[in-house]
Chain A
Amino acid sequence: MLLIECPWCGERAETEFSYGGEAGIARPPDPDVLSDAEWADYLFNRSNPRGAHRELWNHAQGCRRWFGVERDTVTYRIAGSFRLSDGSDNREG
């Protein structure tokens, strides 16, 4: 079970969180101008990397805040968590 650091509450067990998929998928500002393929790319395609992955988590059983985590998809090691609102990144070092 992962140990995840909520930027507001600190380290908590994975069971307190829900997963939100890849971070940084911005919603296109004007969907109407997109081709079907471009819209489908936003909708369905994710990078699915082997290694570092920036992803969204929600402290669902805690403060209900969404935040970002950089997690290695092979080792599951977490490099750090970051807040979304101010773009800052609280990873150590």
Chain B
Amino acid sequence: MQPQRLPTGGRIDRSKPLSFRFDGRKLEGYAGDTLASALLANGVSIVGRSFKLRRPRGIVGSGAEEPNAIMQIGKGAHAQPNLRATQVELYEGLVARTTKGWPGARFDLGAINDIFGKVFSAGFYYKTFMRPKSWWHLYERFIRASAGFGRAPTETDPDHYEHRNAHCDVLIAGGGPAGLSAALAAGRAGARVILADEQDEFGGSLAGAKRNIGDAPADEWLRRTVESLAALDNVTLLPRSTVFGYYDHNFLAIAERCTDHLPEADRAGVRQRLWRVRAKQVVLAQGAFERPLAFCNNDRPGVMLASAVSQYIRRYAVRPGRRAVVFTNNDSAYETAIDLAEAGSSVVIVDSRADGAGSLGERAAKAGISVIAGHIVTDVVGRRRVRGVRVAGWSGNPSYLVESSIHIDCDLVAVSGGWSPAVHLHSHAGGRNAWDTERHCFVPGEAAQANVSAGACNGKWSLRECLREGIESGRAAASRCGFEAPEIDTPSTSEGHYNPLQPLWRVPADAEPERCPKQFLDFQNDTSVADIRLAVREGYRNVEHVKRYTALGFGTDQGKLGNIIGMAVLAECLGKSIPEVGTTTFRPAYTPVAFAVGAGESVGDLYDPVRKTAVHEWHVAAGAPMENVGQWHRPWYFPRDGEDLHAAVARECVAARQSLGIMDASTLGKIDARGRDVVEFLERIYTHNVGKMKIGRCAYGIMLGEDGMVMDDGVMARLGEQRFYLTTTTGGAANVLAWLEAWLQTEWPELEVFLTSLTDHFSTIAMVGPNSRRVLERIGCTIDLDKDSFPFMAVRDAELGGYPVQLFRVSFSGELAFEINIDSGSALEMWKTVMAAGEEFGVTPYGTETMHVLRAEKGFVIVGQDTDGSVTPVDLGMNWLLSKDKDFLGKRSLARPDCLRSDRKQLVGLLSSDNTVLPEGTQLVEAPGAPVPVPMCGHVTSSYMSACLGHPIALALVAGGRARKGETIYAALPGREPLPVTIAAPVFYDPKGERQHV
């Protein structure tokens, strides 16, 4: 039973009935319906409640402009919130819920807000919820609960989404008469064309139109045109695809809905697809939006846009009302009146213009439709559904007051306040809009990119103009891409003559806007004429401010319906013209886009690339939990027999200090630097004297930004007269290489230096501990490893167990240690070789956590953990690294007054007065009892329990800290008394550094 369905007509398939649920009610529609047309066919009038006042609301439009019919579609993880019922294709088993109103939209307890409507005026939230301040958390909960639109599913989205990059000569947004004509013209010229339209079928306003194009009915022209386009290999047709954003340099984004129109069980493959298109030329043909008029109670269910009423009748064979009043200030709504009459409804036209319409007026008269010219609808009777309208005579004067003398019974009010071109994409692209004083709308001004607007979105209302502009713009776009575009005749259409629109935005009423029933401008945000007037009285002048104060144009519809009439009302209140007031900024997205389509494939395992070392699988097999360091997965610790982090790290630390630890250090950045001028180059980069380094020796080097702050550090080695090997931090590898290249290429192109990243080519195995040399000897090394032949900070090429390696005697732990640099293809074998050879010494693999503890015990900093971009080498106590004999990047900055302050934060050690391991990031204060806000003198940067020392250790940056050793300051800890801590030297273990030299 679909009481409002017409017996014949429409583009629905009556042989395919579909059942669906709406707020639990089981209803039926047909294939070809939208959810909105099916609801109207079933006589459903209330589809939601308004945002603030909770007034019952019905379907107003038939497309993207719909402000009221905002639905939750689908169930569970597949659900989508906040879809416009007017754009949801009906499918078998569709489940729709209204998103506003409690307990439901039909009966809503929140409707009491309407009775106190005077309280809920513009700026209500700002005025009411500010005091007392401490109540905000209560207010917020209430506001969020009552404002709520749809609910995002809480489960992980199980569907697949993808991104596709595309290039084309001509992208056409919108597949109505103009867009189709443009596609045909550009396609026949041979250009690569993409034609995208948000609906399931092409045609736009033509779908179901009862008129001829050439010698055939519009439907026939449509079918033939789409067939011709489909036959062209160079044309890509994208139905169900919204061009939602126009970005720089003709880059556009399209959201294609691939399977949302299918029953959930039938969906397979990609659900939605994001097209990222770089187009040489763009034709914008998205049409126009009809405007409402602001009369009293114009939001009652049953008040609809005239064009939407026509769409429902023509395309879906749904009659939205039996007794209709058409209220208009222009000719186009007369077509709706004729549609209604042909559908068997009784119709009265109330036309604000004294002389009525042109040719369409004659046709309406022939259809027996009575016209009350020079009159306006001032008010609507009925609450849950239109029951009638009140009508007044009006001479066109701009007063606020008239006297309503006529009452007309009706169940439908079809409104037309004129048309506004959809200038959204033109505006995204950076184009301005110009006010057209004849047609009373904003039309696209000069295009800011390679785009042109055609048809109704260029302010052209007649079908002939739309077809002509489409063909012209398509040909022009193709020829600008270098194609020879053949002439195409504009098909003939019969056009009548039109009487001009009468500018009318807010409609006079029987009382002032503040004293009459609300005259809504923005339905979704309950913004009325009185709200705009209030904002102006309170001093708001700029349209962007008024928007934010009154919420005009907010919400899921972004003011597609109400913005222009709202701005017209604002202009009137300010005594300015509409173009003087201007529009708010149009920003992407044109209609809401699901987060999932933005994410595309970049979710889960594909969110970010993972980098694994050559030994990774061994770490995994050994049961090591992984720590993410940038994109690297590094073993964190190697637990044995149910050990937790702390137990494992304690054991690993002791093993490394007493016998032998082994660590995979392959993630260090490695750069080969060579060339005629490499010494000069590195002298400028590093702070120490690079030229004095002997071949076969290593040095600890730091590099600074030009601001004097520590940027990166690492061991670097001189392998030859003009050849160096640089290591960087794991996280800094790519940045350092880019930094070095930047100086070489932009500042010092005269230097001949070649930089090559070796990070992935070589793996690094660190052998740490007093038994490391013994194990290397056992494996079999071709060089002498004793301390005189191979001293601390030396590097040698060697063969180790038959593998060619580069052997470094460097230490990040303070112990006797070696780093084996080996081709990554052999790294796993070498790791296993060391594990086997070290077995009798209890060789212990360790991960990043133990590495951190060992280095912190020695006071070795980690750039990015103990430094934060505001720390100089002097702050770290590294003056010994700063050469006095040369310039280097950042050196001059170290002499800036701020870098010379004695109260700069400096690196120190901290010892807590009990066994507390201070949380990293803990703020340090001088005096625990100082009045709030307590001045802070520093913070903890690294903090661990040291198993080797038997107590916790911490590194911290403390104001003037180096001169304060032995002093007590306080650590501010949440939930407990400030803890006294003692400032100490940052080296806790083997302060003389003897162990690494053995």
Q: Which residues of A contact B (CB under 8 A)?
A: 1-3, 13, 18, 20, 23, 26-27, 30-32, 34, 36, 39-40, 43, 56, 58, 60, 64-66, 75-76, 78, 84-85
Which residues of chain A have C-beta atoms less than 8 A from B448's C-beta? 75
Let me know if B747 is at the binding interface, CB within 8 A: yes
Contact A31 B892 (CB under 8 A): yes
A43-B707, A66-B741 known; A34 and B892 CB under 8 Å? yes
How far does the alpha carbon of A31 sit from the alpha carbon of B890 in the complex, in Å?
Answer: 10
Which residues of chain A have C-beta atoms less than 8 A from B839's C-beta? none
Contact B742 A66 (CB under 8 A): yes
A34-B892, A36-B896, A39-B896 known; A76 and B249 CB under 8 Å? yes
Contact of B742 (CB < 8 Å), options: A2, A20, A30, A76: A20
Contact B749 A64 (CB under 8 A): no
Which residues of chain B have C-beta atoms less than 8 A from A18's C-beta? 738
| Cβ-closest chain B residue relative to A4 | B249
Contact B706 A43 (CB under 8 A): yes
A32-B892, A75-B430 known; A2 and B248 CB under 8 Å? yes
A54 → chain B closest CB, angstroms: 12
Contact of A84 (CB < 8 Å), options: B248, B251, B745, B891: B745
Question: CB within 8 Å of A: which of B890-944?
Answer: 891-893, 895-897
How far does the alpha carbon of A60 sit from the alpha carbon of B430 in the complex, in Å?
Answer: 28
How far does the alpha carbon of A78 sit from the alpha carbon of B449 in the complex, in Å?
Answer: 12
Contact B896 A56 (CB under 8 A): no
Contact A66 B248 (CB under 8 A): no
A3-B251, A75-B448 known; A65 and B896 CB under 8 Å? no
Contact A1 B746 (CB under 8 A): no
Which residues of chain B have C-beta atoms less than 8 A from A65's C-beta? 745
B168 → chain A closest CB, angstroms: 14
A58-B738, A76-B248 known; A84 and B278 CB under 8 Å? no
| Cβ-closest chain B residue relative to A28 | B892
Contact B891 A31 (CB under 8 A): yes
3 pairs of A and B residues whose beta carbons are closest in the complex = A31-B892, A3-B249, A66-B745
Which residues of chain B have C-beta atoms less than 8 A from A34's C-beta? 892
Let me know if B159 is at the binding interface, CB within 8 A: no
Which residues of chain B have C-beta atoms less than 8 A from A75's C-beta? 430, 448
| Cβ-closest chain B residue relative to A84 | B746
A sample of 15 inter-chain contacts (CB < 8 A) reads: A1-B247, A1-B251, A2-B248, A3-B251, A26-B747, A27-B706, A36-B896, A39-B892, A39-B893, A60-B738, A65-B745, A66-B746, A84-B745, A85-B745, A85-B749
| Cβ-closest chain B residue relative to A78 | B249
Contact B887 A32 (CB under 8 A): yes
How far does the alpha carbon of A75 sit from the alpha carbon of B627 in the complex, in Å?
Answer: 44
A90 → chain B closest CB, angstroms: 16
Question: What 12 new A-B contacts, CB under 8 Å, besides A1-B251, A31-B891?
Answer: A3-B250, A31-B887, A32-B892, A34-B892, A56-B742, A58-B741, A66-B741, A66-B742, A76-B248, A76-B249, A76-B430, A84-B745
Encode contact with A along B86-99: 1 for CB under 8 Å, 0 otherwise.
00000000000000
Contact A2 B249 (CB under 8 A): yes
Encode contact with A along B778-791: 1 for CB under 8 Å, 0 otherwise.
00000000000000
Count chain B residues whose beta carbon lies closer than 8 angstroms to a beta carbon of A.
25
Which residues of chain A have C-beta atoms less than 8 A from B707's C-beta? 43
A2-B249, A3-B251 known; A58 and B896 CB under 8 Å? no
Contact A20 B896 (CB under 8 A): no
A82 → chain B closest CB, angstroms: 12
Most buried by A among B247, B707, B746, B887: B746
Most buried by A among B276, B892, B893: B892
Encode contact with A along B246-282: 1 for CB under 8 Å, 0 otherwise.
0111110000000000000000000000001010000
Contact B896 A64 (CB under 8 A): no
How far does the alpha carbon of A66 sit from the alpha carbon of B746 in the complex, in Å?
Answer: 7
B968 → chain A closest CB, angstroms: 37
Contact of A58 (CB < 8 Å), options: B250, B742, B747, B895: B742
Which residues of chain A have C-beta atoms less than 8 A from B278's C-beta? 3, 13
How far does the alpha carbon of A5 sit from the alpha carbon of B966 in the complex, in Å?
Answer: 60
Contact B897 A36 (CB under 8 A): yes
| Cβ-closest chain B residue relative to A60 | B738
Q: Which residues of B contact A (CB under 8 A)?
A: 247-251, 276, 278, 430, 448, 706-707, 738, 741-742, 745-747, 749, 887, 891-893, 895-897
How far does the alpha carbon of A68 sit from the alpha carbon of B707 in the complex, in Å?
Answer: 23
Which residues of chain A have C-beta atoms less than 8 A from B247's C-beta? 1
A31-B892, A65-B745 known; A1 and B248 CB under 8 Å? yes
| Cβ-closest chain A residue relative to B684 | A27
How far does the alpha carbon of A61 sit from the alpha carbon of B767 in the complex, in Å?
Answer: 35
How far does the alpha carbon of A23 sit from the alpha carbon of B746 in the complex, in Å?
Answer: 9
A36 → chain B closest CB, angstroms: 6
Which residues of chain A have C-beta atoms less than 8 A from B276's C-beta? 1
B448 → chain A closest CB, angstroms: 7
How far does the alpha carbon of A76 sit from the alpha carbon of B448 in the complex, in Å?
Answer: 10
Contact B746 A20 (CB under 8 A): yes
B570 → chain A closest CB, angstroms: 27
How far does the alpha carbon of A65 sit from the alpha carbon of B738 in the complex, in Å?
Answer: 9
Which residues of chain B have C-beta atoms less than 8 A from A31's C-beta? 887, 891-892
How far does the alpha carbon of A1 sit from the alpha carbon of B251 in the complex, in Å?
Answer: 6
Which residues of chain B have C-beta atoms less than 8 A from A27's C-beta? 706, 747
Which residues of chain B have C-beta atoms less than 8 A from A85's C-beta? 745, 749
Which residues of chain A have C-beta atoms less than 8 A from B892's C-beta? 31-32, 34, 39
Most buried by A among B249, B251, B430, B742: B249
How far does the alpha carbon of A52 sit from the alpha carbon of B934 in the complex, in Å?
Answer: 48
A39-B893, A39-B896, A66-B742 known; A84 and B249 CB under 8 Å? no
How far does the alpha carbon of A27 sit from the alpha carbon of B891 in the complex, in Å?
Answer: 13
How far does the alpha carbon of A23 sit from the alpha carbon of B891 in the complex, in Å?
Answer: 22
Most buried by B among A1, A34, A56, A85: A1
How far does the alpha carbon of A76 sit from the alpha carbon of B248 in the complex, in Å?
Answer: 7
How far does the alpha carbon of A7 sit from the alpha carbon of B707 in the complex, in Å?
Answer: 31
Which residues of chain B have C-beta atoms less than 8 A from A40's C-beta? 896
| Cβ-closest chain A residue relative to B757 | A64
How far does the alpha carbon of A30 sit from the alpha carbon of B892 in the complex, in Å?
Answer: 9
Contact A1 B741 (CB under 8 A): no
| Cβ-closest chain A residue relative to B705 | A43
How far does the alpha carbon of A66 sit from the alpha carbon of B738 in the complex, in Å?
Answer: 9
B90 → chain A closest CB, angstroms: 36
B593 → chain A closest CB, angstroms: 16
Which residues of chain A have C-beta atoms less than 8 A from B749's C-beta? 84-85
Which residues of chain B have C-beta atoms less than 8 A from A1's C-beta? 247-249, 251, 276
How far does the alpha carbon of A58 sit from the alpha carbon of B891 in the complex, in Å?
Answer: 26
Which residues of chain B have C-beta atoms less than 8 A from A3's C-beta? 248-251, 278
How far does the alpha carbon of A58 sit from the alpha carbon of B738 in the complex, in Å?
Answer: 9
| Cβ-closest chain A residue relative to B250 | A3
A49 → chain B closest CB, angstroms: 18
How far does the alpha carbon of A78 sit from the alpha carbon of B892 in the complex, in Å?
Answer: 35
B604 → chain A closest CB, angstroms: 21
How far does the alpha carbon of A20 sit from the alpha carbon of B747 in the complex, in Å?
Answer: 13
B169 → chain A closest CB, angstroms: 15
| Cβ-closest chain B residue relative to A40 | B896
Which residues of chain B have C-beta atoms less than 8 A from A2's C-beta? 248-249
Most buried by A among B247, B745, B747: B745
A31-B887, A75-B430 known; A43 and B893 CB under 8 Å? yes
How far does the alpha carbon of A64 sit from the alpha carbon of B897 in the complex, in Å?
Answer: 37
Which residues of chain B have C-beta atoms less than 8 A from A13's C-beta? 251, 278
How far does the alpha carbon of A68 sit from the alpha carbon of B562 in the complex, in Å?
Answer: 46
Which residues of chain A have C-beta atoms less than 8 A from B747's C-beta? 26-27
Which residues of chain A have C-beta atoms less than 8 A from B896's C-beta? 36, 39-40
Most buried by B among A30, A34, A56, A64: A64
A61 → chain B closest CB, angstroms: 11
Which residues of chain A have C-beta atoms less than 8 A from B248's C-beta? 1-3, 76
Which residues of chain B have C-beta atoms less than 8 A from A84's C-beta? 745-746, 749
A92 → chain B closest CB, angstroms: 16
A6 → chain B closest CB, angstroms: 13
| Cβ-closest chain A residue relative to B898 | A36
